[in-house]
Amino acid sequence: MTALPDATRKRISPRSAVTIVVAILLIVSMTFNLGLFFAGPSTGLERAATASLPVKEPAGKAGDEQLAYLLVKLQLQTRSEMASHFTRKQSAIPGVDKLYQRLLVKNLILPAAVAGNIFSEVVPQATSGRAWVKMVVDQPRNPKNRGDEEALNLLAELRKGAATAERNTGDAFYYAEPIKAKAACMYCHGEPKGASDPYFPQYTKEGWRAGDIVGAVIARVVPEEAAGG
Ligand code: HEC
């Protein structure tokens, strides 16, 4: 004797129940992609591509310098984690990874649009304007990514091959690490330079090539005493 009410037993035959379950599974796997549930957070390859890992305690840094270092690492790591979603093979089902990529792009889940905005708003607010951290490029799409003179000097230093760059100007401490272009960035930022970005036609492609140092994540921290007085 089953506990099912008579009406239910009559209406749903075992065959149609199986059909319904299979249909639901198919829809779920197409929309959300089963690979997302079962894949680990990141593959070893993606981890290896993250220049800033493993994050170590910066030798000889304390206070404001340590804050600048931490802000840069946090923004870089957030960028990298988000960018890996654009490249990660999402599914064995043909076309699903493309669909997923479109979904990310159409909803503007881009490292620059999300990580950039969060950090550029939260950090100055949470430090009463004492600190900022942002992506600095020479000719930014978004004016808020324009660096000050010191930031552009640091970017130039990184382009010459330094792994990190820092400067104490007396007024503030700056810390910078490079942003390197990867194959995944090219669809929107690659060649031909000047052509319109296929997803964001209001912008033009920069002509970046994989491996180029295209910008830097830079933090600027004003010492507490100076900010207070
Ligand atoms: C789907 C398109 C797309 C992809 C892929 C993409 N970007 Fe962007 N990127 C944009 C858009 C759009 C902006 C401007 C966002 C805004 O309005 O703030 C931007 C802005 C940036 C900026 C900020 C500087 C500026 O011009 O304002 C940097 C740095 C950047 N992208 C680096 C990268 C890197 C590195 C990758 C690859 C890991 C990448 N992007 C992948 C579309 C893309």
What pLDDT digit, counting tens, does each position of 191-227 carry? Answer: 999 999 988 889 999 999 999 999 999 999 999 876 5
| Nearest CA, atom 28, ligand 1 | 112
**Beta carbon of 181 within 6 Å of any ligand 1 atom:** yes
Task: Please name the residues in contact with 217: beta carbons below 8 A apart, sequence gap of 6 or more.
Answer: 72, 75, 76, 79, 133, 134, 135, 136, 176, 177, 179
Tokens of 194: 């000047």
Q: What average pLDDT score do residues 167-181 get?
A: 95
Tell me the C-alpha distance between 149 and 49, whole Å: 30
Region of poorest pLDDT, from 56-65, 76-85, 180-189, 204-213: 56-65
Residue 87 pLDDT > 80: no
Q: Which has more pLDDT, 159 or 9?
A: 159
**Beta carbon of 85 within 6 Å of any ligand 1 atom:** no
Q: What average pLDDT score do residues 77-88 get?
A: 82
**Beta carbon of 205 within 6 Å of any ligand 1 atom:** no
Looking from the CA of residue 86, the nearest atom of ligand 1 is 5
Looking from the CA of residue 180, the nearest atom of ligand 1 is 35
| Nearest CA, atom 15, ligand 1 | 113
